[in-house]
């Protein structure tokens, strides 16, 4: 019953969001088409529902071959691979909006674990792999809320960016998503959607920690 209601909920929100976002999509698409490398959308293979691979839709914000350059699938603050307009799109999260297409075709949900690239997913323990995508991955989720400033967190660490991501950030993300899967409900999803909108307006707020008291302990 939960999955059915969640799917209907996803479709309704995605349709409304698509209508609202059309005035944003058109100018962004035109700017991307005539700037940078001329690419508008970026489709990338990610791990999704049931640990199956699927193509995720995003606005193009980085150089075409960025996964083969620098820090690979880890993006750091002021990453030289990010295009000029891409910095704004990433900071505002507008680059994630095309994932509405993924929600409509059923490969993603509004709320869920962020879909990872296979190489990052394979860093998870077998326990996390078994549960993280029991529901479709989401545009937003508890991991997205906690790590909304992930690039800054990585930048502030004195460690190698990839080492820090794989040994500190990724394991904690896994713990957060296991926490979500153990408590998933429509009420929890609605709270996460509200908090996502709140943090867009008030990015420095600590409302997530105040709302969810029983989150896994963070050690960094």
pLDDT, tens only, 83-124 = 888 889 988 889 999 999 999 999 999 999 999 999 999 999
93 φ/ψ angles, rounded to the nearest 5 degrees: 70, 10
Q: What is the rounded (10 degree) CA torsion for 23, 29, 30, 31?
A: 110
Helix (H) or strand (E) run with residue 106 in it: none
- Joined together, the tokens standing for residue 61 give 């914000």
Q: Are 60 and 42 in contact (CB under 8 A)?
A: yes
pLDDT, tens only, 187-219 = 999 999 999 999 988 988 999 989 998 999 888
Instruction: Number of helices (H) and strands (E) in the chain: give both, helices first.
Output: 11, 4
pLDDT, tens only, 139-149 = 999 999 999 88
Q: How far apart are the first and last CA of the chain?
A: 38
* Length of the chain as a residue count: 220
Task: State how far the Cα of 210 lies from the Cα of 206, in Å rounded to an integer.
Answer: 7
DSSP letters along 150-192, please?
HHHHHHH-SS-HHHHIIIIIHHHHHHHHHHHHHH--HHHHHHH
Strands 109-111 vs 138-140: parallel, antiparallel or unpaired: parallel
Domain chopping of the chain, boundaries: 2-211
């Amino acid at each position: 019953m939960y999955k059915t209601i969640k799917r209907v909920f996803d479709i309704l929100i995605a349709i409304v969001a698509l209508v609202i976002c059309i005035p944003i999509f058109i100018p962004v698409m035109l700017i991307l088409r005539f700037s940078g490398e001329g690419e508008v959308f970026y489709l990338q293979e990610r791990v999704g529902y049931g640990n199956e691979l699927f193509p995720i839709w995003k606005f193009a914000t980085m150089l075409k071959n960025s996964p083969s350059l620098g820090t690979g699938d880890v993006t750091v603050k002021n990453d030289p691979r990010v295009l000029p307009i891409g910095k704004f799109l990433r900071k505002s999260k507008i680059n994630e909006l095309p994932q509405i297409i993924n929600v409509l075709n059923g490969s993603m949900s509004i709320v869920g674990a962020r879909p990872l690239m296979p190489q990052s997913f394979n860093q998870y323990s077998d326990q996390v792999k078994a549960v993280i995508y029991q529901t479709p991955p989401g545009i937003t989720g508890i991991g997205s809320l906690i790590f909304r400033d992930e690039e800054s967190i990585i930048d502030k660490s004195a460690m190698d960016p990839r080492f820090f991501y794989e040994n500190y950030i990724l394991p904690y993300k896994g713990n957060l998503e296991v926490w979500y899967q153990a408590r998933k409900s429509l009420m929890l999803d609605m709270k996460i959607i509200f908090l996502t909108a709140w943090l867009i307006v008030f990015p420095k707020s600590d409302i997530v920690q105040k709302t969810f008291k029983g989150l896994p302990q963070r050690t960094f």
